[in-house]
Amino acid sequence: MPEQSSNKTPDAVRRKLILSGSATLAALSMTPVSALSADSSPRQELVLKLQQETGLGIDFIEQAISQATYDKSVIKRIKTPYESKPYKEYRPLFVNRKLADKGLAYLKEHQQIFERAEKRYGVQPEIIAAILGMETRYGHYKGKDRVLDALYTLSTGYPRRAAFFRNELGEFLQLCQEEKLSPTSIRGSYAGAFGTTQFIPSSYRGYAVDADSDGRRDVWESPDDIINSVANYFRKHGWDQQRPVARWLDRVPRKVVFAKMLRDETKKWRRLGEVRKHAALELPDIWSDDDRIALIQRKTSQGKRTALVHYNFYVITRWNRSYNYAMAITELANMLGCPQCSVES
């Protein structure tokens, strides 16, 4: 991305920071003149914003950003994600026998870790395994993009979500300093996610755990840390192990409340008992009148279908906001043996 020069001098920058009440004056006063040239650029402005927002040393940030490369293919890829496909095209990529068999083998190999994680966090092993399967094929594909380049590109070349990705870039630099990692050494996805878990930086800092007690939160190679970190994420977002996730409906009653639910989708949650007052729904016994529910529609191989979704479904969308993703996780977990994840009658 071409950089545009500006006439801001170091002193002018300092005066602006003083007037805005910034606490970065001390750091700036120690910065070499060469680091803040009179020909300031968008890259340098990014350095200053990151210093203000993270409190990291400006030399550390500047060194990292100076090594970041703008990759225009990142912008193209983030605008055309797999999740934008119709569900009938998206589903076969993940809900298939090959990936399920890999998941069953992974569950067996790490059975004791899964059991400990389930006991501690209350999240089914099959849900965790489905996440790891869809994200990285159980660690076999973690992504080839440099995370630093991806986040730098999205921070500067994707205006619609530039603030979000600048925050993630700041989180990334903080975790690199905390975990003693080189910013240029970590590879992941075009969206800045990394490791077997494909955490974005803020999720790593907020939810990754050192389950094997080796002093590192290793979401790349440690099965203990990987499995427990996913479980911790789900617990903290409100996962309820005893409740269902989603259910395809063969028929949707022609009632006003159902039309409203289809319009609202997961923007509004209703109690199943209140909905049942308007029309009967044939559901397994696991569904309770107290359950918070919503309706979504997807284009499947059988045509447009409606699914009743529990609040647990929404928890999955906190990991990835796509309905396609959340439904595929549910269906894959069902193939792995999750008793609460049955989606068909």
pLDDT reported for residue 345: 63
Place 10 in a pLDDT band, splitting at 50, 70 and 90.
very low
Q: Please identify which of the residues 135, 168, 171, 331 carries the catalytic annotation.
A: 135
Global pTM? 0.86
Average pLDDT over residues 307-311: 98
Long-range contacts of 100-108 (CB under 8 A, 24+ apart): 100/332, 100/335, 100/336, 102/133, 102/137, 102/138, 103/129, 103/130, 103/132, 103/133, 103/138, 103/332, 103/335, 103/336, 104/336, 104/337, 106/132, 106/133, 106/138, 107/336
Kindly state the helix (H) or strand (E) to which residue 292 belongs, with its residue range.
strand 292-300
pLDDT reported for residue 215: 95
Q: What is the mean pLDDT of the chain?
A: 90
Average pLDDT over residues 14-26: 35
With a CB cutoff of 8 Å and minimum separation 6, the contacts of 138 are 102, 103, 106, 129, 132, 196
pLDDT reported for residue 6: 37
Write out pLDDT tens, residues 90-109: 999 999 999 999 999 999 99
* Percent residues over pLDDT 90 in the chain: 85
pLDDT reported for residue 82: 85
pLDDT(34) > 60: no
Domain boundaries, the chain: 10-66, 145-236
pLDDT(19) > 50: no
pLDDT reported for residue 41: 83
pLDDT reported for residue 228: 98
Does 1.10.8.350 match the CATH number of domain 145-236?
Answer: yes
pLDDT(42) > 60: yes
Rounded CA separation 103/105 (Å): 5
pLDDT reported for residue 40: 55
Q: Provide the 3-class DSSP secondary structure of residue 209.
A: coil
Q: Are strands 292-300 and 270-271 parallel, antiparallel or unpaired?
A: antiparallel
Q: Which residue has the higher pLDDT, 268 or 9?
A: 268
Write out pLDDT tens, residues 154-163: 999 999 999 9
135 is catalytic: yes
User: Do the Cβ atoms of 209 and 228 come closer than 8 Å?
Assistant: yes
pLDDT reported for residue 21: 36
